[in-house]
């Protein structure tokens, strides 16, 4: 007994093509990740500094993000080139405060760890 087609699927789509040619498919030209302002404010740091920030964020939520905010003042670039350095600094401070204040309910701690992982990923691309 074969499963019936789900919503929007037809029986013809479930069968393999018999003519030897696959149906035409679209081609992805460019994929672009859209980041919010807080996530785009994560600085591209040297790899050892990013690992230290991840370590700090793991054990003291928000501390590594706070340290990364000061790397922006030292010239680390971000995905917000059109914003002034001080604006990006305050966005990172806001992210650190959010992580610290919501760490009580575990949300900030989890966010802090993911933030640190993003820092390491960006540093490995740097």
Report the distance separating Cα 87 and Cα 32, nearest Å. 24
Structure confidence by residue, pLDDT tens digits, 94-112: 999 999 999 999 999 999 9
Band (pLDDT 50/70/90 cuts) for residue 19 is low
Structure confidence by residue, pLDDT tens digits, 31-60: 777 888 889 999 999 999 999 999 999 999
The closest of 67, 61, 76 to 108, measured between CA atoms, is 61
Residue with tokens 């030209």: 29
Report the distance separating Cα 50 and Cα 56, nearest Å. 10
Q: Which residues have C-beta within 8 Å of that of residue 68, sequence separation ≥ 6?
A: 42, 43, 45, 49, 50, 53, 76, 92, 119
- The per-residue pLDDT of the chain, averaged, comes to 83
Tell me phi and psi for residue 41, to 5 degrees.
-85, -5
């Amino acid at each position: 007994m074969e499963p019936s087609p789900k919503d929007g699927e037809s029986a013809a789509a479930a069968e393999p093509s018999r003519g030897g040619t696959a149906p035409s498919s679209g081609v992805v030209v460019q994929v672009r990740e859209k980041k919010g302002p807080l996530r785009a404010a994560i600085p591209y740091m040297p790899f050892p500094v990013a690992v230290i920030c991840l370590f700090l964020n793991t054990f003291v939520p928000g501390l590594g993000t706070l340290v990364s905010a000061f790397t922006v003042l030292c010239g680390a670039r971000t995905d917000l080139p059109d914003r002034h350095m001080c604006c990006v600094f305050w966005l990172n401070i806001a992210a650190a405060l959010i992580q610290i204040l919501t760490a009580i309910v575990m949300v900030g701690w989890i966010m802090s760890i993911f933030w640190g992982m993003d820092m390491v990923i960006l540093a490995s691309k740097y």
